Structure 1
Amino acid sequence: MNVLLVYAHPEPKSLNGSLKDFAVQRLEAAGHQVRVSDLYAMQWKAPLDAGDSLAPANGTPFHPSLASKHAFENGLQSPDIAREQEKLKWADAVILQFPLWWFSMPAILKGWIERVYAFGFAYGVGEHSDSRWGNRYGEGTLAGKRAMLMVTTGGWESHYDARGINGPIEDILFPIHHGILYYPGFDVLPPFLVFRSGRIDGDRYAAVTEELGQRLDTLFTTEPIAFRPQNGGQYEIPSLILRSDISPGQTGFAAHVALEN
């Protein structure tokens, strides 16, 4: 199978750099084809701007989504964007690897999402009608592919507990899992998490890589997070509110994940 690893850490000798190398070796040893987008090494341009089109409109205000749509539909995207889209189309699974900085992904990775997820490629796809509201949240260009986060954080696991000071890690990652990965169609796997990343000795590193190896070995068999599909009848259209009989009384992020039978 084809695996794309999008890696966002500036130091090759970091824990993240070591885990990235381990992941590539493990996946290749299992027979997978692996490509790595090392965003810092690539000097990836993070800001989305008019320069993302080879023929930007002159004399008119820059409209990000319309400019993205025009560039995508007319083969006018900057080459770096087009290359990353080709990698996404090639991949059967995508791993986003990053340290959790200020409760989210590093800016360079957010910029990769903003620029590569062009209008017509990752959003703005499908019909909008009384029965459908575009191909998204379980459908879309990237449907049928898998995605997983590899995330390190300096905080303790208890800090991200349901009652922890930082808030539940599931809630912190929900905008990435649901809004960035599930939105264009990925089957989203539970994340691989490393807590207290600044306190890794030899024994703990061995335990971390053992756990990571098991997750990579089951990359294509692990059950994805059971997000509710938008057009599967559980949401009212066009309001996109969960039907009253679906998880009645439940609100917030958890309402959009189906309970186990």
Structure 2
Amino acid sequence: MKMLVIYTHPNHESLSFAFLEQVLKASSANSAIDEVQVLDLYEEQFNPILFFDKDNRRRDMHRVPELEKYRQQLLWADQIVLIYPIWWGRPPAMLLGYIDRMFASGFAYKDDGKLLPEGLLKGKSVVCISSMKGPAFYPLVWLNNAHKILMKRALFQYVGIKKVKFFEFGNMENKNGKQANKLNKVYRYFHLLNK
């Protein structure tokens, strides 16, 4: 299994970074995972701004040369792992900008005029690891599960990825937030992961 880990947090002393460390540590101990690449969007200084005009058409985004190495990473990966905080009920703008630019028509899906497009990233799986200050039930009860619907239905199913796993951790700034237990849960998952 080839794994691409997309890390989206500007602080390497954050809990998100601790989750990244657990994923990498567990993956190195798992014989089912052959190779891991990490894309740190902030460290990479990824440009999240979606731009198009009459000369740079949106339908041609899948050919933008500066994004070729990122397209190759997504094609290479069997498993995509996203690690990010939940801010204002959704992933950071940096990650959303990556999604806007990378999951383009002609690369991630093919629009052939039918009711739904053909997803071109079939066969891959995704794990989303997110943390938030508020309680874990907040997105489910108050926001009608908007975060998971956005990621699973509006994005991944649209591009053909059906297997999506969520670790959505709440109360992460609370002293009694059981951070160690949550880090261990992520470690155990990736240590035992088998495609």
Counterpart of 1:173 in structure 2 is: 148
Unaligned runs of 5+ in 1: 51-59, 222-261
Q: Larger relative CO (CA 8 A, sep 6+): 1 or 2?
A: 2
Deviation digits for residues 26-83 of structure 1, max 9, x if unmatched?
1121032111110000011010125xxxxxxxxx7356423425xx2xxxx233x111
User: For 1:181 and 1:200, how far apart are their aligned partners in 2?
Assistant: 34
Contact kept? 2:9, 2:17, Cα under 8 Å: yes
User: For 2:61 and 2:54, how far apart are their aligned partners in 1?
Assistant: 13
User: Which residue identity does 1:204 align to in structure 2?
Assistant: K
User: Which residue identity does 1:106 align to in structure 2?
Assistant: P
Taking the TM superposition and a 5 Å limit, the aligned residue runs for 1:87-126 are 87-123=73-109, 125=110
Aligned length: 193
Deviation digits for residues 171-223 of structure 1, max 9, x if unmatched?
3320111111111111232301211111256x9232112211232245446xx
Which of 129, 134, 145 in structure 1 is aligned with 2:117? Answer: 134
User: Which residue identity does 1:173 align to in structure 2?
Assistant: K
Higher share in strand? 2
User: Which residue identity does 1:14 align to in structure 2?
Assistant: S
- TM-score, length of structure 1 as denominator length: 0.67
Contact kept? 1:192, 1:215, Cα under 8 Å: no
Query: 209-218 vs 11-20, which deviates more?
Result: 209-218
Shift of the alpha carbon at 1:86? 0.4
Contact kept? 1:126, 1:134, Cα under 8 Å: yes
Which of 167, 180, 205 in structure 1 is aligned with 2:179? Answer: 205
Judged with a 3 Å threshold, the aligned counterparts in structure 2 of structure 1 residues 160 and 47 are, in CA distance, closer, same or farther, namely: closer
User: For 1:62 and 1:173, how far apart are their aligned partners in 2?
Assistant: 35
- TM-score, length of structure 2 as denominator length: 0.88
Unaligned runs of 5+ in 2: none
Judged with a 3 Å threshold, the aligned counterparts in structure 2 of structure 1 residues 3 and 157 are, in CA distance, closer, same or farther, namely: same
Is it true that 1:65 corresponds to 2:58 in the alignment? yes
**Equivalent position SS for 1:26:** helix
Find the structure with the greater CA-based Rg. Answer: 1
Shift of the alpha carbon at 1:126? 5.6
